[in-house]
């Protein structure tokens, strides 16, 4: 969240951001509700002070045996208490009305964030790698998966419903191999690996900025009054929620976890294959640092470079995109997407995302540190998808397919694939590295 004093002083900037991010919020109503609850708070505080003075006066008069005067003040105190109870009720209601609006206030965006309405307005910054030109009719990842016995969508649908799947044999191995490769890259860069809860409280979703606007994307667990996390960013940030941390050296956290999203609003989109599914795995990087814009910008470049390195090790062509205002979430200050070439789509598809949230998320989660003068300040937080699978299997299989139906395995993955250099259709033996 943004500091409300800052919002009052920069109301027009907030209005502009609300419009650019497409959030349904009246800033004028927010300011009116803010003024209402502050007025009620002042009145309530003044009445409490008056009650306390009267109570002290009663005590003094009783000590002086001036009972008649004390009883008169007691009667006045009862009147004050009745009015105070009424005001406190009004204040609670006013704070709830204000809070419901305040939760919707978006983070401001960086000066270099493109202005736009959707992902079509994202701006390409660079391309890396050559898009393959096949001298044969290429197969999509589902055809390759069926050919090699890697993917079984019909049985996934039979078991879990639409957008579910099974990964089999080498398909499951690839799924785990890309995750372990990503984890090993992060461990080499001093990330602390955590195994995290997948079920989280509602307050965790609120504290990390996924609620209220992302509520329809989360699976609710009524029995435990919780939710299935759509990303390990939630439990990684919550690890330090409500704490004062040592942030002179950035805190680098990583997790590999299953993730769950309802994909509400995507009916009819990407229904074939593994691009948009309800259950998937992600390796996430989260960094918590001091509130220095230069530091958090450098970390944004660092975690994006980590994801790029993974794509380079997978020998996949990709491009980096600057995400526009309309394609950003409420909490994001600046965002890059990495899109990997997917031959079956004839286009680049998003596989990675990096975000700098500045202190927006840390304010909600109450993560602070002490600066050089000893003053408490809110941290900056950042996150990046180091890899998400099975989506990454789409470009991995499709870009590396060969005319005979085999699939080349990049050298970086071979140690995690028992030395396999390629996948061959079941009719032939699979080659092992010498």
Which of the four pLDDT bands, split at 50, 70 and 90, describes residue 428? Answer: very low
336, β-bridge pairs: 322, 354
Kind of pairing, strands 422-423 and 347-356?
Answer: unpaired
Residue 353 annotated in active site? yes
Residue 350 annotated in active site? yes
Rounded Cα distance between 285 and 322, Å, is 19
Rounded Cα distance between 344 and 4, Å, is 48
Candidates 232, 257, 344, 353; catalytic one: 353
The helix/strand/coil state of 108 is coil
Instruction: Compute CA distances 255 → 198, 234, 241, whole Å.
Output: 11, 11, 17
Candidates 252, 261, 358, 363; catalytic one: 261
Candidates 37, 163, 252, 391; catalytic one: 391
- Count Cβ atoms within 10 A of the Cβ of residue 44 and give its class: 0-12 exposed, 13-18 middle, 19 or more buried: middle
Residue 391 annotated in active site? yes
Mean residue pLDDT across the chain: 94
Residue 433 has pLDDT above 50, yes or no: no
Q: Whole-angstrom distance between the N-terminal and C-terminal Cα of the chain? A: 56
Which of the four pLDDT bands, split at 50, 70 and 90, describes residue 265? Answer: low
**30: Cβ contacts below 8 Å, ≥ 6 apart:** 7, 98, 101, 102, 105
Residue 236 has pLDDT above 60, yes or no: yes
How open is the CA angle 308-164-386, to the nearest 5 degrees?
15
Question: What torsion, rounded to 10 degrees, do the Cα atoms 65, 68, 73, 78 define?
Answer: 110
Tell me the average pLDDT across 385-407: 97
Residue 223 annotated in active site? no
Residue 127 annotated in active site? no
Candidates 276, 345, 377, 414; catalytic one: 276
pLDDT in tens, 95-107: 999 999 999 999 9
Rounded Cα distance between 26 and 185, Å, is 45
pLDDT of res. 429: 46
Domains and CATH numbers, the chain: 4-102 (1.10.287.40), 119-423 (3.30.930.10)
**243: Cβ contacts below 8 Å, ≥ 6 apart:** 366, 367, 368
Tell me the average pLDDT across 355-373: 97
pLDDT of res. 269: 67
263 contacts 217 by C-beta, under 8 angstroms: yes
Candidates 284, 308, 350, 398; catalytic one: 350
- Count Cβ atoms within 10 A of the Cβ of residue 132 and give its class: 0-12 exposed, 13-18 middle, 19 or more buried: middle
Residue 430 has pLDDT above 70, yes or no: no
Lowest-pLDDT range, 263-272, 322-331, 353-362? 263-272
pLDDT of res. 270: 67
43 contacts 87 by C-beta, under 8 angstroms: yes
């Amino acid at each position: 969240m943004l500091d409300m004093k800052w919002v009052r002083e920069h109301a027009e900037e907030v209005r502009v951001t609300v419009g650019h991010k497409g959030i349904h919020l009246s800033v004028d109503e927010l300011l009116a509700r803010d003024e209402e609850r502050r007025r009620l708070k002042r009145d309530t505080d003044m009445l409490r002070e008056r009650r306390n003075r009267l109570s002290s006066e009663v005590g003094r008069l009783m000590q002086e045996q001036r009972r008649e005067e004390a009883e008169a003040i007691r009667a006045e105190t009862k009147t004050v208490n009745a009015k105070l109870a009424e005001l406190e009720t009004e204040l609670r209601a006013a704070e709830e009305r204000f809070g419901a609006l305040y939760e919707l206030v978006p983070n401001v965006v960086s000066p270099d964030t493109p202005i736009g309405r959707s992902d079509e307005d994202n701006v390409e910054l660079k391309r890396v790698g050559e898009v393959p030109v096949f001298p044969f009719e290429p197969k999509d990842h589902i055809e390759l998966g069926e050919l090699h016995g890697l993917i079984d969508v019909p049985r996934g649908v039979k078991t879990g419903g639409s957008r579910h799947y099974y990964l089999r044999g080498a398909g499951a191995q690839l799924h785990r191999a890309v995750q372990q490769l990503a984890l090993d890259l992060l461990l080499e860069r001093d990330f602390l690996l955590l195994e995290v809860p997948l079920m989280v409280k509602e307050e965790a979703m609120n504290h990390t900025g996924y609620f209220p606007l992302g509520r329809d994307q989360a699976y609710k667990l009524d029995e435990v009054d919780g939710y299935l996390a759509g990303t390990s960013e939630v439990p990684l940030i919550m690890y330090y929620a409500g704490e004062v941390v040592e942030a002179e050296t950035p805190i680098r956290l990583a997790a590999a976890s299953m993730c769950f999203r309802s994909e509400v609003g995507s009916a009819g989109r990407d229904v074939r294959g593994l691009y948009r599914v309800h259950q998937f795995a992600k390796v996430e990087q989260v960094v918590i640092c001091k509130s220095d814009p230069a530091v958090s910008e450098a970390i944004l470049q660092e975690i994006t470079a980590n994801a790029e390195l993974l794509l380079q090790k997978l020998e996949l062509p990709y491009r980096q995109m600057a995400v526009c205002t309309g394609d950003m979430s409420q909490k994001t200050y600046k965002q890059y997407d990495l899109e990997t070439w997917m031959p079956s789509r004839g286009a680049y598809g998003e596989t990675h995302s990096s975000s700098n949230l500045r202190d927006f998320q840390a304010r909600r989660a109450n993560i602070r540190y002490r600066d050089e003068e000893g003053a408490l300040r809110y941290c900056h937080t950042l996150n990046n998808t180091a890899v998400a699978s099975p989506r990454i299997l789409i470009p991995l299989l499709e870009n590396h397919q060969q005319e005979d139906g085999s699939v080349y395995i990049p050298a970086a993955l071979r140690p995690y694939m028992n030395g396999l250099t390629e996948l061959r259709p079941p009719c032939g033996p699979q080659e092992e590295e010498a």
